[in-house]
Amino acid sequence: MPTKIILDCDPGHDDAMALLLAWGSPEIELVGVTTVGGNQTIDKVTRNALAVARVAGIHGVPFAKGAAHPLLRPVEVAEEIHGASGLDGPVLPEPDIELDPRHAAQFIVDTVMAAEPGTITLVPTGPLTNIALAMRLEPAIVGRVREVVLMGGGARVGNWSPVAEFNIVVDPEAAAAVFAAGWTVTMVGLDLTHQALATDEVVAAIREIGTGPARFAGELMDFFTAAYREVAGFDHPPVHDPCAVAYVIDPTIVRAIPAPIAVETRGEHTLGMTVVDLRGPAPEGTRTQVALELDAERFWGLVLDAIRALGDPLVERVD
Ligand code: BDR
Ligand code: CA
């Protein structure tokens, strides 16, 4: 039985890769895609999500637009990394699907409450605003969600500050609420995602597939590589968001350990830090875990298989 997920994202180059991986993997049933303001404004990331859907041939899946800004703080985007559109690099096709009329938070509530308890996994790959809003709208979702597998945070490293990661620090109050809620949370953070590097060999293997989605992914990775080189001094970019999807597909490619995790919302120098207590065995009943190591070879194998499985949707349509 495939695992049902709602992908809550802010595309974003790596969010786009997460969408391709989710749609191209038989182990996943994509029951909805929700968007959240993050890498770019909500209108831009929503448009980008719909464009990726067109490239990947995603159909029959509701897309719902969510929060424009964090719970308490002003909008902060990652233009240096993702460009003015939020998805610079490839030419984006015109979207061909209509948005679901509901707010993303309402969509999440409706979907989780209508499903069998314990069957829906939330996979947030942007700021946690929509998830926090959904919890506020209907607290009962906490007991019904199977697991939250999120890309964000880091036990030992930050990127938006020395100690904080972008998705967490732009809406730390939302993140604090999500980590403290009492559901099972797997934090796929920078400790792990910095092992998911799009090396030259990886990008060449993607291109080799030769289809529209493969070309699209290759162009995304070219822009992402240049941005990470210039802004962050990486030779090859860490492709964060699909790591969360990969964990859902096959948890054995990740080493994760239970640990208490709290989010700093007041620190002068530590705002948005995910404080992970790794001092000893986690206390009984700890529901949060931190992902630390990735089998990068198997991870990229999943991504390549998924892109292959997508075929060439735009070409097939024209025929
Ligand atoms: C995270 O921030 C965003 O820029 C990426 O899409 C990813 O979700 C990495 O810190
Ligand atoms: Ca993201």
| Per-domain residue ranges of the chain | 3-318
Whether the predicted pLDDT of 38 surpasses 90:
yes
**147: which 2 tokens?**
């697991």
pLDDT of residue 314: 85
Look at ligand 1, atom 10, and give the residue with the nearest C-alpha.
166
What residues sit around ligand 2, an ion, with C-beta below 5 angstroms? 10, 12, 15, 125-126, 241
What's the pTM value of the predicted model, to 2 decimals? Answer: 0.98
Cβ of residue 241 lying under 6 Å from some atom of ligand 1: yes
Residue located via tokens 């700021």: 127
What is the rounded average pLDDT of the residues 254-262? 98
How many angstroms separate the first and last alpha carbons of the chain?
33
Cα separation, 40 vs 27, in Å, equals 30
Mean pLDDT, to the nearest integer, of 204-229? 98
- Cβ–ligand 1 distance for 17 under 6 Å, the answer no
Compute the residue count for the chain. Answer: 319
The type of residue at 139 is: P
Mean pLDDT of 237-242: 98
What is the per-residue pLDDT across 40-91, written as a single tens digit (0 to 9) for each?
999 999 999 999 999 999 999 999 999 999 999 999 999 999 999 999 999 9
Whether residue 318 is predicted with pLDDT greater than 60 in this model: the reply is: no
* pLDDT tops 90 at residue 209: yes
8 CB near ligand 1 (under 6 Å): no
What average pLDDT does the chain have? Answer: 97
- Catalytic residue numbers? 240
Fold of 3-318: Inosine-uridine Nucleoside N-ribohydrolase; Chain A (3.90.245)
Give the span between the Cα atoms of 3 and 135, in whole angstroms: 21
Task: In whole angstroms, give the CA distance from residue 130 to residue 122.
Answer: 11
Q: What is the pLDDT of residues 294-313, one digit of tens each?
A: 999 999 999 999 999 999 99
Ligand 1 atom at minimal distance to the Cα of residue 81: 4
Residue 319 has pLDDT above 60, yes or no: no
